[in-house]
Structure 1
Amino acid sequence: MIVCKFGGSSVADAKQIQKVKSIVDAQVQRQIVIVSAPGKRSKDDEKVTDMLYACNALVQQGQSCRELFKKVAQRYTNILVDLGMDQKSFLPVLEEVRQMIDAGHGAEYAASRGEYLSARLVAAYFGWNFLDTDPLIVIKDDGTVHDQTYENLKKALHKGKKYIVPGFYGCNTEGKVKTFSRGGSDITGAIMARACDADIYENWTDVSGVFSVDPRLVEDAKVIKTMTYREVRELAGVGAGVFHEEAIAPVIASRIPINVKNTNAPMDAGTMIVTDRPVNGQPLAGVSAKKGYSRLTLRKLMLFKGTGIRHALLTMLHIFGVRPAFSLFGVDSIVWFFETSQASESVLNAMCVRIKSEFSLDSIEVDHGHAVVGIVGVGVLQEPDLIAKSTSALAKDGIKLNFFNYGSSDTSILLGVDAEQAQDAVKSLYHALF
C-alpha cells in the first residue's frame, strides 16, 4: 500500500491533474491520494486558499463574498472544462460552499474548502471514492492529532477500495471544522499512511526532493538522497519549506519511510526520509535560515537562586502571547528568541514593564531583526573542525554572529545572525561545509 499526497502546484490546473493521474495509474499500490487546494499556476497567480481566507474576511466585515467567490468557482470550473468533465453536478457543491461561508462559518471552514472541493473534483475525475476528513481526523486544541483519529480511519477505510482525501483539515473535539497550520496537507498524508500501515508515504511536490540548501540562493544546490526524520524536522524548523515539520510525528512510531518526489519529473529519485541513516562520509544534511525573530534579554544578579524562576517567567510571557522558540542562559541572564509576529510593540512594552516589576529584574530588553541559521546532520557532533569552519567562514564574509548553540541537539547546530545577513550566512556556510 502506497499513500500519496499531491501539493497545490500538482493540482493547480487540468494539465497538472492529468500528470497526477498518470503517476497514480503507473503503480497499482497507490490506493490513497491526498490532495491540496489548487496552488499558483504562475508567479503572479493567486492560491485558492488565499482567496478563501479573503472571502471570510469580507463576511467578517459584514459583506457578502459572492463576487470574490466567483473567482474561486472559476478555478474549479476551468479545471472541469479542461478535463472534459461535466460542470452541472459540481455547481451546486460550489454554491453550497459559498452559502456556508456567507453564513459566517468562520476562517477555518472557509480555508478548508479549497481542499474539500479539490478532492471532490479529483475523486470524480479518477472515479475513486471521496473520503471527507471532517468527521474522521480529530485535531486537539494544540494542533496535534487525537488518538481517536486512527480508530475512526481504520473503520472508514475498506480493503480493496481507492480513496481521494482532502488534506489540511479535520474537526475539533466538538465536531467543528478545524485546520492544521498552512502546508498541513503533509500532515494529513502522514496520518493516512499511519492509519492504513502504508509501506511508503509519497509526498509529491514541484521539486525533486529536499535540497541541502535553498536552490534560489545557491545555483548548484544538491538534492539530499537520504535523510532521517529528525534531520528533516530540524531543517524544516529553521526555514526549509519542502516538507511540513509536524508531518513527521504520525509516521515516526510506525517507521514508515517518506519519499519526497516531483510531479513534473516523476522518474527522479527524490529524497527518502527514514528512521536512521549511516554517516558514510556525509555527516551533514543541509543548512537553512529562518527570519522574523525578536530577542528578549533578561538580567538580574543571582537570577536563578529563586526556585522555579524560568517556569514563572515563561508563564508570564505566555500571558502576553509570547512563546519563545530558542533559549540561551547565562550565569545571571536569560535570552529568548520568539517570532516577532506574536506580539505588537505596545504589548511587548507592557510585558517588559510588568515582568521587570514583578521579578525585580536589573534590566529587560527587546530588539528585533534576528534570524536563526541551522546546520543540520546526524554527524554534526562528530566533526571536530565544524565549529572552526563555521565561525571562520562567517567572520571571513563579515557576518556578525549573535549566538552559537552547540550540543543541545545531536542533529543540529544553531547560529544567530542579523536578519539582513541571513541569506549571506546560509551561502557562506554552505560553501564552507558542503
Structure 2
Amino acid sequence: MKVVKFGGSSVASATQYKKVASILAADPERKAVIVSAPGKRHAEDTKTTDLLIRLADSVGERDFNEEAFQAVLKRYRDIIEELELDSSLMTEVEGHLHEVISMYRQSKDRLLDGLKASGEDLNAKVMTAYLQSLGRKATYISPKKAGMIVTDEPGNAQILPEAYPEIAKLRDIEGLLVIPGFFGYSYEGNIVTFPRGGSDITGSIIAAGLDATEYENFTDVDSIYCVSPKMVDKPRELKELTYREMRELAYSGFSVFHDEALQPVVHKKIPVCVKNTNRPEARGTRIVASRELDGRPVIGIASDEGFCSINMTKYLMNRELGFGRRLLAILEDEGVSYEHTPSGIDNMSVIVRSHQLYNGQEARVLNRIREELQVDELYVERDLAMIMVVGEGMNQTIGIASKATQALAQAGANIKMINQGSSEVSMMFGVNVEDVERAVQSLYHIYFPAEVGQEV
C-alpha cells in the first residue's frame, strides 16, 4: 500500500488534476492521496495559499476585502468549471470560507491558520468529487476524521503520538482516501497548520500511521539533484540517497523535500520516492534508510543564506566552568535558537538565523552576554551563507576536506567557519553571501568532474 502526496504545482489546474487521476489509476497500490492547495499555474501566477494569507490580512471586525475573497473563489471556480463538476461545489467553497472567517475573526493567528488550511481542505474536496466523476471509489477524509491530533500552537503544529493508532484505522476504509495536507486538529478543537512544507509532513505522518510500503511525493521535477539547478547547469540527478543525507541537504536549502517531513517515515523505515507529476514515467529519487556505497564519497552540495554569527572572545574561556551553558541559557531566555557553536580555547561563535534578531532582540542578547559573561570582545558578523557537502561515504575517504578547501580557494571564497559532525556524513562551511554561488559551483566541479547530467 502506497501513500501519495501531490504538491501545489501538481494540483494547480484542471490539466494537472487529470494527470493526477491518471497517475492514481496506473497503480492500484496507491491508497491514500494527500493534496496541497493549488499552486502556481505559470511563473507570474500567485499560489492559492498566498491568496488566502492576503484574505486573512484583510479581515476586520465586520468585513473583509471582497476582491481578495473573490480571487480565492476564482482559483477553485476555474478548476471546477473546466472539469465540468457540479456547480454546488462552489457553494460549498464559498460557505466554508465564510464559516472560517466567522469562527476565527477575533483571533488573527487562528484566522490565518484556518484560512491557510482551507487551501488544502477545499482542494481535497474538489479532488474527491473529480475522482468520483471518473467512476473511482474515493472518499474525502478530513484531518479530524483521519486522527490528525496535533499540538495547539498556531502555525507550528506537532503531531501527537496518540494520533498514529487513529490513523491506522483508515486502512479499513475501501477505495481511495483523499486527505488534505498541511494541518490537523488540536484537542481544543482548533485548526492548526504545520510549519513550512506542511503537506509533506502530513503525507509522511499518514504513511507512517498506515504502515505504507512506500511514500510517493509528486512534484514538478524528475528527481532530486546533487546541487541546485539554479546554480549549476544540468547537474547530476540522484537515484538514491539516505534519510541522513536528505536531512542534511534539506536543512541547507534543498526545497524539494522539507527536512521535518522525514521524521515519521524514518522511524518506520518507509522508503520515500520523489517523482514528477508531469513525467510520471521518470524513475525519480528514492530516499531510504541505507544504500550501497558506489565509491562516490560526496552525494550532494547545498547552500542556504540568512545567517549571522555572534562572536565572542574571553581570555581563559576554556577554564571557566559553565560558560557555554550560561551563554546558551541567555539565548533560550530570549527565544533564540542556535544552529552551530564553533569554538576555540578563548573564543566561541554562535551561528543563528538572522531573522531571529529583530525588534531589539539583538541588542538585548548582546547586552546580556556582556554583562553576565564579562567577555573581552563581542561583535556580530552578518550576511553569512552556509554550504553543506554531504555523503555517507565521506568518513571512509581521505582528502575530502582538502578538496573542499581547494575548491573554495579557487572560487575566491573566504572561509568563515568549518564544522563537521561526529557522524562525518557532512561538512559545513560558512562563507559570505556574495561568494556562495561561486563557491558551490567550484565544489560541484571538484567533486563531480566532467560528468554533467548523469545519475548518482
With the length of structure 2 as denominator, give the TM-score of the two structures: 0.91
Report the secondary structure of 1:120's partner residue.
helix
Is 1:130 equivalent to 2:135 in the alignment? no
Q: Residues 219-230 of structure 1 correspond to what in structure 2 (within 5 A)? A: 219-230=233-244
Matches of 2:423 and 2:304, distance apart in 1: 18
**Residue 380 in structure 1 maps to residue 394 in structure 2:** yes
Partner of 2:454: none
Q: What SS does structure 2 have at the residue aligned with 1:40?
A: coil
Residues 237-290 of structure 1: per-residue CA shift (max 9 Å, x gap)? 100110111111101121111110000000000001110012111222110100
Q: Give me the whole-angstrom Cα distance separating, in 2, the residues matched to 1:413 and 1:143.
A: 31
Pair 1:312 & 2:312 matched: no
Q: CA deviation at 1:400?
A: 1.1
Answer yes or no: is the 8 Å Cα contact 2:181–2:202 preserved in 1.
yes
RMSD, aligned α-carbons: 1.7
Where does 1:38-117 land on structure 2 (aligned, <5 Å)?
38-59=38-59, 64-101=64-101, 103-104=104-105, 105-117=110-122
Q: Distance in 1 between matches of 2:375 and 2:157?
A: 34
8 Å CA contact 1:320, 1:343 repeated in 2: no
Contact 2:315 2:346 in 1 (8 A): yes
| Residue 364 (structure 1) shift | 1.9
How many angstroms apart in 2 are the aligned matches of 1:33 and 1:15?
18
* 1:277 correspondence with 2:288: no
Q: Which amino acid aligns with 2:401?
A: I
Alignment map for 1:336-415 (pairs within 5 Å): 336-344=350-358, 346-415=360-429
Kept after mapping to 2: 8 A contact 1:204/1:263: yes
1:119 to 118, 124, 132: 124
- The runs of 5 or more residues in structure 2 that have no matched partner are 133-137, 449-456
Counterpart residue number, 1:169: 183
2:225 pairs with 1:214: no
Cα deviation, 1:364-422, whole Å, max 9, x if unaligned, reads 21121000000011012222111111111111121111111134342111011001111
Q: Once the two structures are superposed, what CA deviation does each residue of 1:183-222 show, in whole Å capped at 9, x if it has no partner?
A: 2111111111111111111000000111101112111212
| Counterparts of 2:323 and 2:169, CA distance in 1 | 48
User: C-alpha distance in 1, partners of 2:339/2:307?
Assistant: 9
CA offset digits 1:144-199 (Å, max 9, x no partner): 32101102212344243320000111123433111111221111111111111111
SS at match of 1:90: helix
Deviates more, 1:297-306 or 1:34-43: 297-306
* 1:410 partner letter: E
Report the counterpart of residue 259 of structure 2 in structure 1.
245
172, 182, 205: which one aligns with 1:191: 205
TM-score (norm 1): 0.96
Question: Hey, what's the Cα distance between the residues in 2 that align with 1:168 and 1:96?
Answer: 17
- Please point out which of 250, 273, 282 is paired with 1:236: 250
Q: Could you tell me which residue of structure 2 aligns to residue 139 of structure 1?
A: 150
Q: Distance in 2 between matches of 1:332 and 1:419?
A: 27
Q: Give the aligned residue type for 1:27.
A: D
State the SS of the aligned residue for 1:414.
Answer: strand
Partner of 1:24: 24
In structure 1, distance between residues paired with 2:173 and 2:95: 34
In structure 2, the residue corresponding to 1:175 is in which secondary structure? coil
The one-letter amino acid of 2:48's match is: V
- Write the distance in 1 (CA, Å) between the matches of 2:244 and 2:62: 46
Closer, same or farther: CA 138–348 of 1 in aligned 2, 3 Å: same
Q: Name the residue aligned to 1:4.
A: 4
- 1:50-69 CA-to-partner distances (Å, cap 9, x unmatched) read 11111111126875143301
SS at match of 2:43: coil
The secondary structure found in structure 2 opposite 1:92 is helix
Q: Is the 8 A contact 1:134 1:169 kept in 2?
A: no
Query: Paired residue for 1:260?
Result: 274
Q: Specify the alignment match of 2:452 in structure 1.
A: none
The number of equivalent residue pairs is: 434
Structure 1 stretches of 5 or more lacking a match?
none
